[in-house]
Structure 1
Amino acid sequence: MKRLLFLLLILSQSALANCWNKAAHYYHVDPYLLYAIANVESGMNPYAVGKNHDGTIDVGLMQINSTHFTALEQHGISERRLMTEPCTSIMVGASILSGMIKVYGYNWETVGAYNAGLKKENYPKRMVYAHKVWEKYQQLKSVAHERNDW
């Protein structure tokens, strides 16, 4: 039984690794950046739910905001899927980030906007969030470099 659980854990991690790479390739975003965002957003908890001051919620691994739910439902992606299918959450998060990058450029302020939005008054929040992601990103890249896994 322990061997079976171990094998399932290894296989699920491998499948999830493929999700990061697939989303990164499709949306032209660094997979380590996506992973760093998920780590900061949800602590890698696919069932995470965050409640915001404005009454919206964030769900899943990539903490997709409820303002996106209506548009996502038109594509067959429900709130439930975002929480029960980590790969779906990764793809949606990558899509949202990619859309922002296309408009605002590939920079740390845009990464900060993934969490804090683009209102002018949210600039400090964007930069605090971006710094957290940057730190996690640097950690991940360092480990990957040490393992020659890049």
Structure 2
Amino acid sequence: MRGPCCIGLALLAAAGAPARADCFEAAGVYHGVNPVILRAIAWQESRFRPDAVNRNANQSVDMGLMQINSIHLPELKRYGVDAKTLYDGCASIYVGAWHLRRKMNKYGNSWAAVGAYHSETPALRDGYAASIVAIIRKWSAQPGGEQWRPPAD
């Protein structure tokens, strides 16, 4: 995990982030995670909506494009990232990449790490990873056009 990542994230957001598509690539490179997986997570979590909000049964809140859970706010605050920042699409992607990198540090470069983005409970983790795999397969099977575009559901 790169501590200064989120300090850089706050500066990136303040300076005017690149277009959202570029953010997946840039965040993936910066955190050493696959940008295709980041895109699939964003699609699964919010359908690419930076204003997405989900209130959970445990009173926590998932926020923004990458649906970052409010339980992470105390740690993110140390890097200058608050709840409002998570509603900026590019900032959310960087924080999502940071979160995925932390799971990869724990589980290795694996589908378990991808699933742990959502939950570390094995059944939920494995189901989530399967959802991400299905999204990527669906996108890669699209005839013509860009390979990693979200499907028109």
TM-score, normalised relative to structure 1: 0.80
Q: 2:139 touches 2:147 (CA, 8 Å); kept in 1? A: no
Number of equivalent positions: 131
The structure richer in helix per residue is 1
Q: Which residue is equivalent to 1:24?
A: 28
Q: Which has the higher contact order (CA 8 A, sep 6+)?
A: 2
Q: Which portions of structure 1, spanning 4 or more consecutive aligned residues, are displaced by more than 2 angstroms?
A: 139-143, 145-150
Q: 1:88 aligns to what? A: 91
**Is the CA contact 1:20–1:31 (under 8 Å) kept in the aligned structure 2?**
yes
State, as a whole percentage, how many aligned pairs show the same letter: 36
Larger of the two Rg values belongs to structure: 1
Partner of 1:35: 39
Question: What code does the residue aligned with 1:92 have?
Answer: V
Q: Does residue 1:112 correspond to 2:111, yes or no?
A: no
Q: Residue type of the partner of 1:75?
A: Y
Q: 1:98 aligns with which of 101, 114, 124?
A: 101
Q: Which amino acid aligns with 2:106?
A: V
Unpaired stretches in structure 1, ≥5 consecutive residues:
1-13
Shift of 1:142: 3.6
| Gap regions ≥5 residues in structure 2 | 1-17, 149-153
- Separation in 2, partners of 1:149, 1:127: 25
